[in-house]
Amino acid sequence: MIEATCHCGAVRMEIDHTPEILTDCNCSLCRRLGGLWAYYRPEQVRRVSGATIAYVQGDRTLETHHCPICGCTTHWQSLDATSERMGVNVRMMPPQVLAGVRVRKLDGADTWEVLGEYHFLLGA
């Protein structure tokens, strides 16, 4: 089990397991948020505490959530309640759990193709 928290600690989530792969997207929203995403099924992520504020994008398919106090983006979820997928911003996880995890560089800004891969490098 991994705990993910925003900077001020108001928002806490418990996540079933370490991410196996991460997505680094360059779309107009992700590049501004600086998020790094791991995808989970909604039942694998439990909100332990903290209300969040949702931002709904133009195409109204998903909403990104952030802490109202410190502003950290914590996750996104689909507006389709039957969706099997949500994204957790792994920047809220302890960096140690991400060391060496594969990161896909997704061209969400244009082609939606994976441009390449790298491994999460744990800073000294």
Residue 51 touching Zn ion (CB under 5 A): no
| Helix or strand holding residue 5 (H, E) | strand 2-5
Number of residues located near Zn ion, criterion CB under 5 A: 6
CB of 71 to Zn ion, least distance (A): 7
| Helix or strand holding residue 10 (H, E) | none
Residue 10 touching Zn ion (CB under 5 A): yes
Residue 106 touching Zn ion (CB under 5 A): no
Residue 47 touching Zn ion (CB under 5 A): no
Measure the CA–CA gap between 107 and 84, rounded to whole angstroms.
22
Measure the CA–CA gap between 80 and 64, rounded to whole angstroms.
13
CB of 53 to Zn ion, least distance (A): 11
The answer for residues whose C-beta is within 8 angstroms of residue 79's C-beta and 6 or more apart is 56, 60, 61, 62, 63
Identify the residue among 53, 70, 114, 115 touching Zn ion (CB under 5 A).
70
8 A C-beta contact, residue 34 and residue 90 = no
Residue 48 touching Zn ion (CB under 5 A): no
8 A C-beta contact, residue 50 and residue 69 = no
Q: Which is nearer to Zn ion, 68 or 108 (CB)?
A: 68
Q: Which is nearer to Zn ion, 51 or 99 (CB)?
A: 51
Residue 68 touching Zn ion (CB under 5 A): no
CB of 82 to Zn ion, least distance (A): 29
